């Protein structure tokens, strides 16, 4: 009799007569008990238990075989990839601007400088307004208090609202310097230029971020100054604005905010030129305060150097005050005549714009051409 077929679909063949001859219960070396084996009368030794086909894992199937419906239903679906927010994976100016805003507000100095700006503007306006009101109640010749104080000129009050802009320009200038030099001092400029190799795009994004931040904070500070002065002068006797002075409130509020933006950008350009925080701060403060004072002293002491006074009048510090005062006259602000040329209020604004443009253009060229140190 032929041996029974063994396979996946084969059925075991029962022998004609089976006589149990032995049962081996001794364990084999592997630790498993030998199965019971029988011997037939007409055939070889056969196992009483049918052969068990090899088992496959549930997820495995033959190569080339088509998956069943059950397998295809149980198969996990591939996750859909989310489309990139940046079209075509390219850098955009808006993305660079958002990154600069994140970088600016990640610095602790940003909150300190902006907070100082919001405090100094109203504090300076309050001190100027109180000084003007006190001077109107005192006789200028005898320095004795008057029985009836003189009315306060509204021009002086509006000038006091923006009276601390030239001082706060130092604070916003420090903010503009740190916006560019902080990356060079911490070597994070390497990562910035690796993510955005277009240096002019990076400079443009920084300029926009600095301008928007400074303008919003400066305008908020000047609005608070206006509110403080209005509350203080509620019970005072105040004159009215004349016909040609109707622009003074707009210049004091929005013009003051624009001046602080220009000073921050000028300082940003100086920082891009120096790429060092101490050097950029010293250069900016020297241009804003130190150099104009030296030129003014020279023009007063030496009559043959009167032209130096014109040079001092074209410095940023002098231009800020002339622009915000709009050449207005009041009991505390008398008209001053000069022996040399001095720009008027709108020409002073052009002077500030010129200083800012020259500083930013030179700084952008230096950043574009110079290697990262």
In sequence order, what E strands does 109-249 have? Answer: none
Residue 44, in any domain of the structure: no
Full domain range(s) for residue 144: 92-369
* Calpha distance 266→359 (Å, rounded): 6
Does any domain span residue 318?
yes
- The mean predicted confidence, pLDDT, of the chain is 79
Q: Are 267 and 176 in contact (CB under 8 A)?
A: yes
For 36-66, the pLDDT digits (tens) are 444 444 444 444 455 555 555 544 455 455 5
CA-to-CA distance for 356 and 334, rounded, in angstroms? 30
**Domain total of the chain:** 1
Question: What percent of the chain is modeled with pLDDT above 90?
Answer: 39
Is 81 a member of any domain? no
Half-sphere exposure at residue 181, Cβ-oriented, CA atoms within 13 angstroms:
22
**15 with 40: CB under 8 angstroms?**
yes
98 belongs to a structural domain: yes
Domain membership flag for residue 221? yes
pTM of this structure: 0.73
User: Which whole number is the average pLDDT over 92-102?
Assistant: 89
Higher pLDDT: 93 or 266? It is 266
User: Does a structural domain hold residue 6?
Assistant: no
| Residue 112 placed within a domain | yes
Q: Determine the Cα–Cα distance for residues 228 and 242; give it in Å rounded to an integer.
A: 23
């Amino acid at each position: 009799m032929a041996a029974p077929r063994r396979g996946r679909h084969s059925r075991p063949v029962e022998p004609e007569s089976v006589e149990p001859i032995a049962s081996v219960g001794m364990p084999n070396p592997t630790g498993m008990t030998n199965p019971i084996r029988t011997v037939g009368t007409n055939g070889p030794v056969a196992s009483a238990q049918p052969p068990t086909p090899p088992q496959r894992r549930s997820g495995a199937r033959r190569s080339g075989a088509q998956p069943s419906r059950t397998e295809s239903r149980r198969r996990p679906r591939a996750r859909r990839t989310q489309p990139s927010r940046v079209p075509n994976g390219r850098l955009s100016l808006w993305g660079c601007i958002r990154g600069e805003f994140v970088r600016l507000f990640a610095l602790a100095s940003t909150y300190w400088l902006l907070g100082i700006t919001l405090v100094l503007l109203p504090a300076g306006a309050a001190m100027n307004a109180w000084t003007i009101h006190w001077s109107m109640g005192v006789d200028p010749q005898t320095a004795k208090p008057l029985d009836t104080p003189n009315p306060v000129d509204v021009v002086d009050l509006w000038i006091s609202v923006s009276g601390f802009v030239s001082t706060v320009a130092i604070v916003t200038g420090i903010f503009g310097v740190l916006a560019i030099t902080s990356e060079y001092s911490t070597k994070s400029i390497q990562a910035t230029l690796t993510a955005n190799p277009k240096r002019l795009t990076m400079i443009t994004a920084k300029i926009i971020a600095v301008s928007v931040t400074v303008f919003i904070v400066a305008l908020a500070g000047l609005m608070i100054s206006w509110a403080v002065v209005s509350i203080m002068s509620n019970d005072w006797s105040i004159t009215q604005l004349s016909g040609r002075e109707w622009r003074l409130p707009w210049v004091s509020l929005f013009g003051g905010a624009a001046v602080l933006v220009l000073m921050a950008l000028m300082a940003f350009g100086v920082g891009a030129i120096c790429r060092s925080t101490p050097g950029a701060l010293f250069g900016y403060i020297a241009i804003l305060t130190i150099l104009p004072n030296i030129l003014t002293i020279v023009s007063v002491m030496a009559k043959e150097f009167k032209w130096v006074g014109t040079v001092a009048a074209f410095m940023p510090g002098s231009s800020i005050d002339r622009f915000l005062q709009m050449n207005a006259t009041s009991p505390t602000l008398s008209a001053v005549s000069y022996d040399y040329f001095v720009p008027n209020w709108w020409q002073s604004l052009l002077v500030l714009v010129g200083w800012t443009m020259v500083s930013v253009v030179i700084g952008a060229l230096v950043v574009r051409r110079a290697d990262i140190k």
